[in-house]
Structure 1
Amino acid sequence: MLSLLTNWYKERFSDPQAVTLVFILVGITTAIYFAGGLLAPLLVALVLAFLLEWPVAQMVKVGINRTTGASLVLVLFIGVMLMLTFGLIPSVWKQGVALVTDLPSMLDKGLITLKGYAEQYPQFLGVEQLDSAVGELKKLLDTQHIFDLGKQLIGYSASLLVLMVYAILVPLLVFFFLKDKDVLLRGSKRFIPSNRELARKVWLEMNQQIFNYIRGKVIEIVIIGVATYIFFAIMELRYAALLGVLTGFSVLIPYVGATLVTLPIALVAFFQWGVSPEFGYLMLGYGIIQALDGNLLVPILFSDAVDLHPVFIIAAVLVFGGLWGVWGVFFAIPLASLVKAVINAWPKASVPESSEQPA
């Protein structure tokens, strides 16, 4: 057994380039896993700087000083974020609070409708079973409990100190990452072994793919969210902004997100209209939007960025989402592509020549 492991190690790690690549990957993964909370502002700034590097590079190409380009891009980005913060978030928050407040009355209305169906079709649905199920659901969705939970979450995640750290440090870090990119890269190479050609090969393969994926995912979120909100507003569906935002962000979780967000949309529509033509039109239109997203928008945006089997994509979402939460879900596909790139670039084991001479 020991000799088998020794031979496997010699075959796979005899190349110093492979050892360097493993050293880099293990170091980065360990730092993120054990110190992710402490390094969160730094990691967020790195992600934002990576996304904003492209417009800065384009400005540098046309002759604009890199410091000036970084300043202009950062100011524009902060302006867009402020518009979203003070324009979209308050409306979504109000609709979310209204939805939580209206849940008991919505459940009562739904119960009356379902009781009618239970009386018409007792062989499929019993009234007593229905009353019991709805009673348990009301206890689970008790408004006061939800508000208490929301207050606890808000008090934990949006404390003044955390907001100040992110509001002040992250923009500063992004600015310096963009402004001094070349200096920081040269300095970081001092801590990486010299045998890093394989790591460089993997990075060159992944750099454009990661950028294309993140850019495409942001565009997909905006398009699907806006299109869904417009459709819901035209249909006069309640909580249109909230449900539109949820639909937009549901694309972060491939295959699973669309399924999860469909349930609240169907429930709100059912409680608002019951089984009616409006309910059918809304679900039909929502289904068309999802079909266009999966069959038209996604192939256009990610044709060169994602070449993974759906099984591996779902497995990546589960694994990296469990490790790093929302960020793990967002970067699940790039991380899975990174694993694939490492496997493809890994040095092939040399096949020993046969000691026997051909007859």
Structure 2
Amino acid sequence: MTLQRAALWAIVVAATMYLLVAGRGLLLPFVLGIVLWYMIDALADAFENPRVGHLRLPRPFALVAAVCIMGGLLWVVGRTIGRNVTAVIAAAPNYERRLQLLINEGAHLVGVEQAPTIGELFDRISLADTLSSIATAAASVVSVAGIVVIYAGFLFVEQVRFRRKLAIVLGSSGNQERVEAVLDQIDHDIRVYIRIKTTLAAITSALAYSVMASVGVDFAAFWAVMVFFFYYVPTVGSILAIVAPAVLTLVQFDNLTPFLIVLLVFGTIQVVTANVVEPAIMGRSLNLSPLVVIVSLVVWGTIWGVVGMFLCVPITVVSLIVLAQFETTRPIAVLLSSDGRIPEPRR
């Protein structure tokens, strides 16, 4: 690669990053609309061509069933979060005072006369203010929900004509087969990722609720929903899913038994699921380097916040498959992969 071409690529990458950050307000609703459309379409395909059983629904009925199920799930999740966020924020000062008492007791045990305050430990960030910020962010997501639904609806309309327009653009040459093969590969890998992640997230969330409810943790249903979403965030999500309920249990009860139960039992479930079960089921289908996943998490989290953290793996998978199709970018795809094995270019 010549110096001129390298400089051109650097300019393109810098301009793209700037547009992604500057256009965040316009791009995020559209991206979320794509996610919603894709999940409904994948669920409708599962009803239309089931892997198990012989009940096959016609496409219109499969689509209606998928919309009803997805809408019902979003309503249940939204209602659960909405009913608990206000209560969590109201209880936050009590948890903060309890946590300060625990810090003071721990400081006396180690011989520290003046224990640091929570504000000093967390750079003067109040727990109540933090939870209020989270609630505000959730409210902003709800405020753009209408736009997201509209985008998803128009994507379904566009889906009907997309293949025909793609054929017109690419003509009758082999480019059409090549592009369609790449799109099919992307679709397959993303669906495998979503199916496995969603199944394991639901199982982990149900087990988390069982553990927390058995010891009497406050807002167990709310934290179970949070555990479900945390599971989609690579690495960091698994840590948050363990730490957040465990810390709440620690500040809620006067003894360590509930804390140890939640930490050890649920921590073991989370670690085994994320580090043993998921890799065994996922296998080599995605073949992403763990370092690349972490870097992608940081980059997309910086660009698009929490939404970027959720989408970092699918975006990286798409990038790897596309980069593998061109000789000039195949070395980059090799670096993104876990073992250097990447899809062969489509001819």
Structure 1 length as normaliser, TM-score?
A: 0.71
CA distance in 2 between partners of 1:120 and 1:150 (Å): 34
- The 3 A distance-change label for structure 1 pair 320 and 228 is same
CA distance in 2 between partners of 1:334 and 1:220 (Å): 17
Aligned to 1:20: none
Residue by residue over 1:110-163, the C-alpha shift from the partner in whole angstroms, topping out at 9 and shown as x without a partner, is: 3334433433431xxx24233x445776963274x568756865675544xx44
Match of 1:90 among 39, 63, 79: 79
The alpha carbon displacement at 1:70 in A equals: 4.1
- Is 2:99 aligned against 1:99? no
Q: Work out whether residues 107 and 114 of structure 2, in 8 Å CA contact, stay in contact via their aligned partners in 1.
A: no
- Is 2:173 aligned against 1:187? no
- Is 2:228 aligned against 1:248? yes
Q: Work out whether residues 316 and 332 of structure 1, in 8 Å CA contact, stay in contact via their aligned partners in 2.
A: yes
Match of 1:196 among 175, 179, 183: 175
Aligned to 2:100: 111
- The 3 A distance-change label for structure 1 pair 336 and 297 is same
**Greater relative CO, 1 or 2 (CA 8 Å, sep 6+):** 1
Aligned to 2:210: 230
The alpha carbon displacement at 1:240 in A equals: 0.8
Residue by residue over 1:244-280, the C-alpha shift from the partner in whole angstroms, topping out at 9 and shown as x without a partner, is: 1121111222111122333322221111224522221
Structure 2: gaps (5+ residues): 7-11, 51-56, 330-347
Aligned to 2:242: 262
What is the identity, as a one-letter code, of the residue corresponding to 1:242?
F
- The 3 A distance-change label for structure 1 pair 127 and 89 is farther
CA distance in 2 between partners of 1:41 and 1:32 (Å): 13
Q: Work out whether residues 209 and 304 of structure 1, in 8 Å CA contact, stay in contact via their aligned partners in 2.
A: no
CA distance in 2 between partners of 1:102 and 1:138 (Å): 21
Aligned length: 317
- Is 2:125 aligned against 1:140? yes
- The 3 A distance-change label for structure 1 pair 42 and 195 is farther
Q: Work out whether residues 70 and 175 of structure 1, in 8 Å CA contact, stay in contact via their aligned partners in 2.
A: no
What is the identity, as a one-letter code, of the residue corresponding to 2:114?
E
- The 3 A distance-change label for structure 1 pair 326 and 112 is closer
Aligned to 1:19: none
Match of 1:287 among 244, 262, 267: 267
CA distance in 1 between partners of 2:223 and 2:320 (Å): 35
CA distance in 1 between partners of 2:110 and 2:275 (Å): 38
CA distance in 1 between partners of 2:274 and 2:127 (Å): 36
Q: Work out whether residues 37 and 152 of structure 2, in 8 Å CA contact, stay in contact via their aligned partners in 1.
A: no
Match of 1:305 among 282, 285, 288: 285
- The 3 A distance-change label for structure 1 pair 320 and 238 is same
SS of equivalent residue, structure 2 residue 115 = helix
- The 3 A distance-change label for structure 1 pair 347 and 210 is same
The CA RMSD over aligned residues, in Å, is 4.1
What is the identity, as a one-letter code, of the residue corresponding to 2:191?
F
Q: Work out whether residues 229 and 244 of structure 1, in 8 Å CA contact, stay in contact via their aligned partners in 2.
A: yes
Q: Work out whether residues 221 and 251 of structure 1, in 8 Å CA contact, stay in contact via their aligned partners in 2.
A: yes
- The 3 A distance-change label for structure 1 pair 31 and 286 is same
CA distance in 2 between partners of 1:150 and 1:343 (Å): 36
Residue correspondence of structure 1 range 268-347 to structure 2 within 5 A = 268-347=248-327
- Is 2:31 aligned against 1:50? no
What is the identity, as a one-letter code, of the residue corresponding to 1:141?
S
Q: Work out whether residues 205 and 227 of structure 2, in 8 Å CA contact, stay in contact via their aligned partners in 1.
A: yes
SS of equivalent residue, structure 1 residue 305 = coil
**What is the identity percentage for the equivalent residue pairs of Structure 1 and Structure 2?**
18
